[in-house]
Structure 1
Amino acid sequence: MNNEPSTINKNKLELQHTNFKHLQAAHCENGVTTALLGHYGVHKLTEPLAFGIGSGLFYIQLPFMKVNGGPAISFRTMPGLIFKRTCNSLGIPVTRKKYRSHEKAMQELDERVLAGKPTACQVGVFYLTYFPKEYRFHFNAHNLIVVDKQGDNYVISDPIMEDLVTMTAYELERVRFAKGAFAPRGQMYYPGDQLKEATDEQLRKAIITGIKRNCRDMLHIPGPIGGTDGIAYTGRQIKKWKSKLGDQKARSYLAQLVRMQEEIGTGGGGFRFIYGAFLQQAHQYLQLDELFDISRQFTEAGDKWRDAAIQASGIYKGRLNTQADYDNMGDRLIEISGLEKQAFQQLKALIKKTG
C-alpha cells in the first residue's frame, strides 16, 4: 500500500459532484463545522465562532485512566459536541449515524457523496495515509469531510491539511472502523440541506449560550480534576511524578501531556488562542468592550501553555532532570489555572449584562 500523501492539485482536477470549498483550520472539528455549514448555506460562521458557540474549551485529567500508557488528559470537549452544539444553537437539524456493518456504512456514504452532498466522518488517526508517520498514533476522534468519489478514490477535505487529499475505499473504511477508545464505528454526520443564513440575532444568542456553558464547564465542574481547578490538580501531580514514578516513567508522562496539548487537535495553547479570537469576534454581536481585555488574558494563557510545553520537553529529553525542574513545571500549570479562572470569572460576570 502506498503510504505517501496523495494531494489533489485543484488546478488539474475538478470535483465531479460538488463545488465544495476546502478550508484549512487550526482544529479538525472546528474546521469541519465551519466548512460543512458554509457549504450548506451558513456563511457567517468562522472557526473561532464555531469553537466558542460549541463551548470547545475544556480541561480534565482522569486520575484512574491511562491513554497510550500515560495520564488521561483532555483539553477539549467530547468529540462531536462542537458540531452538535453549534447546530443546535442555530436551529440546524443534524443527522449522525454509526454502523455495525462496514458495507452499509460505505454504501450510505457513497449515496450521499455521489449525490453531491459532502459528509463528515469521525475517524482514527493511526492509519491516515496522508499524515506524516510521526503524527500517526492511536487517536479516534479526528474529523474530516468526504467531498467526492472518483472511481475507487475518495476526495477528502481534512481541515488540518493545506489542500484536498485522497484515500482509497480500503483506506477510508479502515479509519472509519478504527478500534480502541472512542472507536468511530463508521460514524458519519451532516446538517440538513440548503440551510438559511444565520441572522445576527441567532448568532448573538448562540454566542451567549456558548459562553455561559463554557464558564460552567471551566468553573463549576464538581471535584478537583476538571476545569480550571483540574489544571492546578495536574500541576500538583507533576511535582510528585519524579519521586513517585521514577525518571523514565515521569518523563513519559510529561511527553503524554505535551502530546495531548500540542499534537492532538491544537490542545492547550492553540485552543486558548482560538478562544481569544472568538471573544474578539463576539464583540460584533454583543458590543461589550470588556471582551477585548478578557481575550488578551486567554492569549496570555496560551503563551504560558506553550512555555510549559517547552519546559516539559526539556525534561523529557533529559536536558532538565532535577526535582526543581518538575516543581517549575507544576508551578507553571498552577499559574495558568489561576489566570484562566480569573478570566472565566470575569467573563461570567460580564455575560450577565446581556440578560
Structure 2
Amino acid sequence: MDSINQSTVANGFHHLQAAHCENGVTTALLKHYGVHKLTEPMAFGIGSGLFYIQLPFMKVNGGPAISFRTMPGLIFKRTCKALDIPVTRRKYVSPQKAMQELDERLIAGKPTACQVGVFYLTYFPKEYRFHFNAHNLIVVDKQGDEYIISDPIMETLVSMNSYELQRVRFAKGAFAPRGQMYYPGDDLKEATDEQIRRGIISGIKRNCRDMLMIPGSFGGAKGIAYTGRQIKGWKNKLGDEKARGYLAQLVRMQEEIGTGGGGFRFIYGAFLQQAHAYLPIDELLQISQQITATGDKWRDAAIQASGIYKGRLGTQADYDNMGDRLIEISELEKMAFKSLKEAIKKAK
C-alpha cells in the first residue's frame, strides 16, 4: 500500500526513519514507551550490533552465507537488558492466534514490533524484495482491515492489509519469523545516565570479543580476511558467471540488507562519539575516526565488486584487487578493536 498521507504519527506513535531496521525499531519503540535518551547509534553500540561472519558450509539464495550483523533480535534484547527494561517476545504455530494477539495489543493502544520476511512486503520496491526473514518493523494501529506500519527504513508510515501482514509474519525459509512479535513493558522510566554508561561499557566489551575472539578463521575481523582470500579464488574455482553472482551476494548483504558493511561502521563510529559524553576517554574519539574510515573502504570495495558483477571488470587481477581490499579492511578493524579493547579498560 502507499504511505499514509505522508503522516508520521498514528495512535500516538511517532515514526522514526533510521539507517537500520532493528536499531530503528529499538529506538522508536522505547521512545514511545518512555525512554527518550536513546539514539540509533547508542542502541546499535549498547546492543553490540557490529559483526562479521562467513559460514563456509552454508549458502543463502545460492551465494555465500555472509552476515554483517548479530543474530536478529539481539540488539533489542541487549539494549533492553542494559537499561533494565522487561521484554516480552512471542512466536506462534497458529497464524490466526498470532494476528488475534497483535490485534488485542493494538486495540489497547500498544504498538508492537514484529520480525518479518522481506519478499512479500508490498510497500517495498520490487528490486528490494528477496528472501530475507530478519527484517523488523512496528505495527502501530489497525484501521478496518489495514494495519498501520512504522518501518524504520521508510520515510513515512505505510500500511498492509491483514492477509499481507500475516504472510510476511509467517514467511518460510532461514530465520523464519513464525509470527514473532516483541515489545517492552508499559510506561517505562527514563534511562539514567548510569544505566547508559554501564550499557556502553558492556556493549563495547562484547563487541571487542565478537570482532577479535571468535574461534576459527571465518568470524569477526579475521572473517573479513577469510572472505578476501576466498574471493581471489572464485574466478578459477567457480567460473565467471557464478563468481559474479557470489560478488553480487556479498554486495547485497553489505549494502542492501540491514545497512551492512559500510553503513554499520558509520553508525558504530557515531556511537563511539556519543559514548564519549558518558565515558570521557579520548581514545574513543580517535577510534571512532578509524572505524568510520573502514566504512569508507567497505563502500569502495562494494564499487569494485559491482564493477565485476556488472561486467565492467572481470580479470583475475580485478578479483585479486577485491580480495586485497577486504584483507586490508580486516587488518584495520583488527587494530581498531584492539585499541578499543585497551581503551575500555580505563572505564570505572
| TM over 0.5, shorter chain | yes
Aligned-pair CA distance for 1:204: 0.2
Matching residue's letter, 1:9: N
- Corresponding position of 2:209: 216
How many angstroms apart in 1 are the aligned matches of 2:238 and 2:132?
A: 25
Question: Paired residue for 2:301?
Answer: 308
- Aligned-partner residue type, residue 169 of structure 1: S
- Find the aligned partners of 1:256 and 1:342 in 2 and give their Cα distance: 27
2:196 aligns with one of 195, 203, 212: 203
Counterpart CA distance in 1 for 2:9 and 2:149 is: 13
Amino acid at match of 1:8: I
Q: 1:8 maps to what in 2?
A: 4
Match of 2:122 in 1: 129
Secondary structure class of the residue paired with 2:13 = coil
The aligned amino acid for 1:61 is: Q
Aligned residue number for residue 35 of structure 2:
42
1:349 aligns with 2:342: yes
1:97 corresponds to 2:90: yes
Question: What is the aligned partner in structure 2 of residue 65 from structure 1?
Answer: 58
Give the match's secondary structure for 1:6: coil
Displacement, 1:6?
1.5
- Equivalent pair of 2:9/2:15 in contact (CA under 8 Å): no
Q: Which residue of 1 aligns with 2:173?
A: 180
Correspondence for 1:328: 321
Within 1, Cα distance between the matches of 2:221 and 2:284?
19
Segments ≥4 residues shifted beyond 4 Å = none
Give the drift of 1:10: 5.1
Q: Following superposition of structure 1 onto structure 2, how do residues 16-35 of structure 1 map, counting pairs within 5 Å?
A: 18-35=11-28
Aligned to 1:251: 244
Structure 1 residues 238 and 155: CA distance shift in structure 2, 3 A: same
Instruction: After TM superposition, give the deviation of residue 64 of structure 1 in Å.
Output: 0.4
- Residue identity in the other structure for 1:73: I
Partners of 2:310 and 2:101 lie apart in 1 by 47
Letter in 2 for 1:103: Q
Counterpart-to-counterpart distance in 2, 1:95 and 1:10: 31
By how many angstroms is 1:249 displaced? 0.5
Write the distance in 1 (CA, Å) between the matches of 2:93 and 2:9. 33
Matches within 5 A, 1:228-307: 228-307=221-300
CA 1:303–1:197: 2 relative to 1, 3 Å = same
User: TM-score, length-normalised on structure 2?
Assistant: 0.99
Q: Aligned partners of 1:164, 1:337: CA distance in 2, in Å?
A: 38
Task: Provide the residue aligned with 2:69 in structure 1.
Answer: 76
How big is the alpha-carbon RMSD for the aligned residues of Structure 1 and Structure 2? 0.9
Distance 1:235 1:10 in 2: 43
3-state SS, counterpart of residue 278 of structure 2: helix
Structure 2 gaps, min length 5: none
SS of the aligned residue for 1:178 comes to coil
Q: Taking structure 1 as the reference length, what is the TM-score of the superposition?
A: 0.97
Cα deviation 1:300-334 (Å, max 9, x = unaligned):
00000000000000000111111000000000000
